[in-house]
Amino acid sequence: MKLIVLFLLLLFVVLSKEFNMNTSWTQKKITLKPRNRGCYLVTDEILSHISSELSEYKYGMANVFIQHSSASLTINENYDPDVRRDMQMMLNRLAPEDAPYIHTMEGPDDMPAHVKSSLFGCSLNIPISNGRLALGTWQGIWFCEHRNSASGRHIVVTLQGETKSNSNANLSKKRK
């Protein structure tokens, strides 16, 4: 699936040059506040760091990437916090601390954290539409901390697409 998304992004870049579209790129590094193990809705926290840049895009893609191997990102229910608690319960059942892991030198919560991180992944691709993330009504960005405690986690957000100012410039060129 991720290879398909990367292929589509590459195709978009190639086609944008072919059709003289002006694509813009913006990248921002965010540090999330430290949290204990659990699943957290962080849509608003991420948007607070990128909203001014995001508002400049007419359409495109936002890539949200966490720079850690014991935490993850996913898109899921944004309304009922019980969903996050139930998800944490199931993750702990899928990758319990008392499994016979070989990699144990960083503590009993480390290897299960790697397993859980691999289940969800470290990046999200979200469409941009009219200066907003095109999430569904009940969707939000979850940050999943899989260690019992950790320092602030680093996220890189990359925005790519047609900006509103570039769209207007392209319309002016076409009208001439």
CATH number at residue 116: 2.60.120.460
Domain assignment present for residue 160? The answer is: yes
Domain assignment present for residue 12? The answer is: no
Burial class (CB in 10 A: 0-12, 13-18, 19+), 54: buried
Q: How many domains, the chain?
A: 1
Domain assignment present for residue 92? The answer is: yes
Q: pTM of the entire structure?
A: 0.83
Domain assignment present for residue 3? The answer is: no
Domain assignment present for residue 10? The answer is: no
The distance of Cα 145 from the centroid of its chain, to the nearest Å, equals 14
| Domain assignment of residue 145, given as a range | 23-175
Tens of each residue's pLDDT in the chain, 176 residues: 667 766 766 666 666 555 556 789 999 999 999 999 999 999 999 999 999 999 999 999 999 999 999 999 999 999 999 999 999 999 999 999 999 999 999 999 999 999 999 999 999 999 999 999 999 999 999 999 999 999 999 999 999 999 998 655 554 444 44
